[in-house]
Each structure stands twice: as C-alpha cells, then as structure tokens.
Structure 1
Amino acid sequence: MDLEAFRWLLGDDGQRLLARAEEEYAAAEGDPVRAVAAVRRLEPDGDRTAAALTQAGLRARAVEKFGDDAWVMYFTPDALEQATRSRVATHRAARLAAAAPASVVDLGCGLGGDLIAFARAGLTAAGVDLDPVRVAVAEANLAALGLAGAVQVADATQLDVSGFGAVFADPARRGGRGRVFDAEGWTPPWSFVRSLLTRAAVVKVAPGIPHDLVPDGVEAEWVSEGGEVKEAALWSSYLATCARRATVIGRGGLATLTEEDDPYVGEPRPVRPLGRFLFEPDGAVIRAGLVTAVAAGVHGGLVDEHIAYVTGDEAFRSPFARGYEVLETLPYRERPLRAALHARGVGRLTIKKRGVDVVPEQLRKRLDLRGENEATLVLTRIAGDGAALLVRPL
C-alpha cells in the first residue's frame, strides 16, 4: 500500500469503500478474489480497491492481537506481524507508567500498537519511524481510538532523545531475506540498543535472545500469552527490579516469577525420582531459566538435570506450569509402546515430548491407533533414560 492510496482511504470516499470492502470480504468468507469484483463496481481504481481490500483482510487477522480495536485500526502486513499483542503491550505500558517517567518515545513505532498502550496508561507518548506509510498508519490509529500522541518520520539512530523520560524500542528483526538472527543485523542494530540501555529504556527483543547477550544490570523479562512465548523485553538498570523475570498472561490475569522466587539459585538443580504428578513449565519460565523456581513452588524437583519437566507428589495448579497426573509408565521402545496403547484402546493420542528425538506427527502415524479412548503421552528422559508416561491433564 502506497502513502497516497492510504491517505485517500482515510477520506469520506475511502471510508465508504473500506466499509463496502469489509462487507464483501466477510460475505466472501475471507476470499479477496471473490470480494474484488463487488468492490470494484464501487471504485474502479485498482490501487484504491487493493488498499481497501487489504485493510479489510488485515483487520480480520488483527483481531487476534488487538481485539475489537482492530475493526477501526489500520495495518500493513509486515507491521502487523511485528506488532506487539495488545495484552502484552498493556502490561509493559502499565509497568513503565509505574516508574512515572515524564514522557516516552517509541523508536520504530510501526503501526502504533505500543503507542496506543502508552497513551492509555496515561503516558505522554511520541513515536518515530523511517517508513512514511507506517507513520501515517500510526497517526490514523491514535486518531481512530481517540488517543493523544505525536508521530513523525525520523531515523531513530539520529534522534536526540535526551528530552524524554524513557525510551522504548522494538528493533526490526526481519529483512528482505526473512528473519535476522544476528543482533547486529537488526534495525536499529544491537550496538545502538546497548547504548539505549545506558539510560531509562525498555527494548523489545526476540524471545530466543541468549542470556549472555543481556548486559549486566539489565533485567530480561520473557512474556507469554495463552501458553505461547511472545517476546522478551530488556529493562535498563533505571527500570529493572530483578535480573530475570517470567511473566505469564492468561485468562485469569497476569502472574510473574523472578529469580527471587527460586531458592536454588547458585545451588545444585533438584533432581528426584518420578512422583505422582508431572509439571510442564510455561515457555517464558523456561526461557528465563526459572524451572527450579517452579519445582520449589510445587514442592518437587526435576525429572532430569537437563530436562524442563518437574515432578512432585502433590497436585498443584499454577499459572507457571501445566500439571498432569502420571497414570502409568509405558514401554519407551516403539513396538511395545504400540502394543500397550492398542491394549488400552487408545485411538486419539496427544504426544508431548521434551529432550528426545521424536517427531510426534510421524510417531502417531506409525503407532496406527484405532481405539475409542483418548490419551496423553509424555516422551522424555528421566535420570538420563528414555521414558514414556501416560498422563491425565489436571
């Protein structure tokens, strides 16, 4: 979408076309090819028609990230992909607001998702981006939601940010050839990110960031939503409250875990025999290296020193781990495992694995299960040996 077409879309004629595009897109069940003919009867210009249909499709996709706000917002495909989910952005904005900075500048604001969260948290917010289309989209999104904020085209690496109370940055981690894994290849690069972290700043990074890349005194927070790790954030020493944090956002709200909750910091990892219950720590907990904090919380230990499964003798419900009751230990080798599952009438099997070289989809096909019962199987290592556990989710 070019800037001229987008600005036309914001006018009265463009809004009528967008409304029609959304109607036709829904009627065509998300098929733009079926919707395009009806939209072109209202507006023959190909660029304008494409812009309207693109927005209709992106709004439908964006509901997962932005909820009902998506139906009045504007997007580009790449900016939507990089944008922070609204619940994660809301958490970060609330935490930043608690530090009471006078203002915050978003370096590389994209479509304005974090600016929206900052503004709703009561922060005076401004954003810059190198892409004029993204800047126009961010401006339109703030206006559509009735929020204050200034946005302009600028190079974040050349901007004087000394007048802002805090800085937020979300470096682009995709290039023309796909995802960029070398931090120095981010835009802006890691060297610039490190310079930001010498002042009051928070930087969104990929959840796979190595621990040894995090500068001393900087807090690394891994965030998951709905059981899936979404991102990590680096909080400079001016804003940090710990070294490592796992934040879990679920239906019941938000929960957070830090190294202060882990009595095994600096101690040997607590390995113990398999108990009646098995616990699968949330991905954010694993990324933050806080699996032993979960073990302490359920009065248990690890099944293996190198495996992120926790076991215990008591049933617990925790926002930081999913619990299972261990029903049986089955043979680990494939042929006797198949026989054991057939004998139990298992036809629908959920396979969870950790620390073993197994492709669940391929194994399920080879097991050739045809029974009427449903089961959950955990394949892992216990004290270094392969194990197959028939479990029941708590």
Structure 2
Amino acid sequence: MEPASIEPLVDPAGWALLAQLPPYDPAQALALGTALRDTGLDADLVAAALTQSRLRARAVAKFGDLAQDMLFTPEGLEQATRLTVAARHAHRFRTAGATHVADLGCGIGADSMALAGLGMRVLAVERDPATAMVASINLRQLPEARVVTGDAFDADLTGIDGVWADPARRTTSGRRLHELADYSPAVDRLLELRTRIPRVGLKLGPGLAHRDIPSDAHAQWLSVGGDVVEANLWFGDLAPEGAGRSALVIDGAGTGTTLAEAGNPADAVEQADAGPLGSYLYEPDGAVIRAGLVARVARDLGGHLIDPTIAYVTTPTLAATPFATAFRVLDHMPFSLKRLKTYLRERGVGVLEIKKRGSALDPARLRTQLALRGDASATIVLTRIAGAPRVLVVERPAPTGPTTPDPPSPAVPSEES
C-alpha cells in the first residue's frame, strides 16, 4: 500500500468520513462508494475510506473495539500481533525490568502499543513508509512511543535495554518465506543483538524448525482458540524459564496455560510409545505438536500414540487437559469407501465432521463421494493405526466429573476378519 492511499485519511475530513461510515457490508460497498462520490467527495478519499472500513472489520478479531480507532495496511494487519498476545509479550519485558524497548519492524504498531501501554518507552522502527505512517497514527495517543521510518539496523539503539522484533515472513508479492535467512529484518543479525542488549525477543512463524533455534533460547509456540499463531524466541531476562521449548495454549476466554520442558531447544524431540486404540482419542493442540511435546502430553494422560508417526494419543479413560481435545471412540474400521458409505447411510448421517491426520484423502472430495443423507450428525477421523489406513467414529464427550474406565470401544468387523 502506497503512502498516498493513507494520506487522505490523515486529514480531519478523511478521519471524519471514516467515523461516519456504517459497519462494513461487502454487499453494500459498491453502492456506498457510488453514493459518497455522488455527494462530491474525492474518489481517492472514498476508495481509501472504504478500504479502511473493510480492514477495520477484519481487524476486530485481533483488536476488538479498538480496531475502529486504528488504521491498517493489508499486509500489516495480516502479520499484526493480536492485542491480547501483544500484552503477554509486553508483560515479559516489564517483568524483566526493561524500560526502553526497540520494536524493530514494528508493522502497524500492535506490540509497540502494548509495550507503551505498560509504561515502557518504545522506539518503533519500520522500513515501509506507508506502514510507518499507519503505526504513527495508531500510536498517536501514547507519548512513550516514537516511530522512525528506516532500516532496523540503522536505528540508534543508544539507551535501549530491550529489543522486540517481528521480521516480515512474506515477500512483497505475498509469498510465504520459510527460511530464516530470507526474513526481513534478517534473523541472524537480530540474534547478534543479544550480545550487547540484555533482553531480546523475536516473533517468528509457527513453522520454526527446532534445528534453527539457538541453544540459549526459550522457544515458545503459541495458539489462540486452537490456531497456532506464532513462535517466539526469548533470551536473557525475558526467559525466566531458561533454555527449552514450551507451548502456550490460550482458550476462547483468553486463559493461557503453558506446557514446558527445559534443555537445549534444538535437541531431538522425545518419541512417545505407540499401542492399541483405547476408548478415548486425544488430538494435541497445534502448539504442543510444534513444540515437540506430544510425548509429554501422552505421558501426563497415561496414554500412548495410536501410531508412531501420528500425533494422536489414546487412553482407556477420560482425563481433562488444556493441551489436547478429547474424543470418545465409538467405532473404528479399516478405511473402505463402500463400507463407510454404508455405515453412515444406515445411521442416517447427513451432517459429517471430517478430521484427518496422516491421511492423504481430501475431505471435500470424500464428502461428495459419501452422498450423505439424513438428519443425524457424526464425526469421523481419517488416520493410520500401525501404518494401516483407518476410520474412527468419535464424539466429543460431555463435561463430567471423575470417570471410570469405559469398556473397549466396539470395532466394526472388517472384510479381512
């Protein structure tokens, strides 16, 4: 996005127009734009305002009601830290004693807002002029924050006692980058800062490979409502846990629970044992899987994997855990399209949730092939057990008190038996 597409909104007339727009409705956007231009408003101003209205509507998921008082670029919103998560980042810096933090590659300013909101001085550095302009507007009510347009490594870090960096993980064309060497600012140069600044934190993509993690880092994968949103590297006082890996799981109510293991974060992941399918199946949270802590969850649950290569845990009894979603196993069978179709038809299943892990099947295509009819609903899991394709019929158990072992779940006889 060019600065020219933002500038019309910085003018009082542009800001006033934004405030007067109705809630964004894609079905009405074209007609609204025409009506606004017909009143004599400049076409560029109308286009900029409607673009911001659309972005603000999308931003509510990350910023709540605050989104209506912010400006965005499409790319900046895509990479912006959710405000509740940014608050957790800022809390680490404040707890570690940071007073003046450099936010290198600040984007639209989400993390700078959280840092300044906790009373720290912030030097927010952004290379893209349009994004820097947006950050300045979003930080306008926080005098503790100062925005500088320029390269992160040209910034004067005198007096800085903490660095937060969120390097861009996409090209200008939108292609996702997978190698840390291709991020901007460059991750290797950011890591060099920890030799002269006591507190350094980096926000990276969830696909961060363990082999790329420095041995002195605490690497934490974070999920919100089941979606893995980022991986963070914390150094020095920002990592009171010490070196290691952890998963921070934040539920829909905003409550966070952490599972951590100390040690060299680049070490090989512990492998859990595998065994027969029990009465319950657990789907570990994505952050747990990324952090390599599935074996820890299996051990804590008193269970094992259903297959050495699949991150599904099974147990004979139901146990509560914030780190995995539990399902009761109702039936299981070798995968056969004909058999599965007959099974669902006999039970009148017309609404089907399809989950998969370790299966190459396309759920959308399978749904069409099954030709579902009926009023009943069901959930199936496409996976492998002992290397063989299987279908599990499961349900989410209702919350209960202490449980006792269930009888073994019935198996649907296979053609091989």
TM-score over 0.5 for the pair: yes
Residue aligned with 1:179, SS:
coil
> In the alignment, is residue 104 of structure 1 matched against residue 101 of structure 2?
yes
Shift of 1:345: 2.0
User: TM-score when scaled to structure 1?
Assistant: 0.92
Could you tell me which of 72, 88, 91 is aligned with 1:94? 91
- Aligned-pair CA distance for 1:29: 4.6
- The CA deviation string for residues 177-221 of structure 1, in whole angstroms up to 9 with x for no partner, is 322223222211232233234442111111111110111111111
CA gap 1:196/1:42 in 2 versus in 1, 3 angstroms: farther
Output aligned runs, 1:53-132, within 5 Å: 53-132=50-129
Contact 2:271/2:295 (8 A) holds in 1: no
Q: Does 1:18 align with 2:18?
A: yes
2:234 maps to what in 1?
A: 235
**How far apart, CA to CA, are the structure 1 residues paired with 2:8 and 2:385?**
62
> 1:325 — aligned with what?
328
Give the alignment partner of residue 166 of structure 1, picking from 135, 138, 162. Answer: 162
TM-score (norm 2): 0.87
Q: How does 1:1-394 map to 2 (within 5 A)?
A: 2-3=2-3, 6-20=6-20, 22-23=21-22, 26=24, 28-29=25-26, 31-143=28-140, 148-177=144-173, 178-198=175-195, 199=197, 200-240=199-239, 241=241, 242-252=243-253, 253-259=255-261, 269-394=272-397
Q: How many residues align?
A: 387
Letter in 2 for 1:326: V
8 Å CA contact 2:119–2:144 kept in 1: the answer is: no
- Superposed displacement of residue 11, structure 1: 3.3
- Deviation, 1:364, is 1.4
* Residues 15 and 190 (structure 1), Cα distance of their counterparts in 2 relative to 1, 3 Å cut: closer
The percentage of aligned residue pairs carrying the same residue is 42
Q: Is the 8 A contact 1:116 1:147 kept in 2?
A: no
Segments of structure 1 that go 5 or more residues without pairing to the other structure are none
More helix by share: 1
Q: Aligned letter for 1:161? A: L
Runs of 5+ unmatched residues, structure 2: 398-417
Cα distance change of structure 1 residues 268 and 204 upon mapping to structure 2, 3 Å threshold: closer
Contact 1:272 1:302 in 2 (8 A): yes
CA distance in 2, matches of 1:221, 1:105: 21
- Cα offset, 1:321, TM superposition: 0.6
CA distance in 2, matches of 1:295, 1:5: 52
Q: 1:383 to 1:122 in 2, by over 3 A?
A: farther
Do the aligned partners of residues 239 and 55 (structure 1) sit closer, same or farther apart at CA in structure 2, a change above 3 Å counting? Answer: same
Deviation of 1:91 (Å): 1.6
Secondary structure at 1:174 match in 2: coil
Query: Residue 307 of structure 1: CA displacement?
Result: 0.8
Secondary structure (helix, strand or coil) at the match of 2:90 reads: helix
What is the alpha-carbon root mean square deviation over aligned residues? 2.1
Deviates more, 1:286-295 or 1:33-42: 33-42
| In 2, Cα distance between equivalents of 1:290 and 1:383 | 21
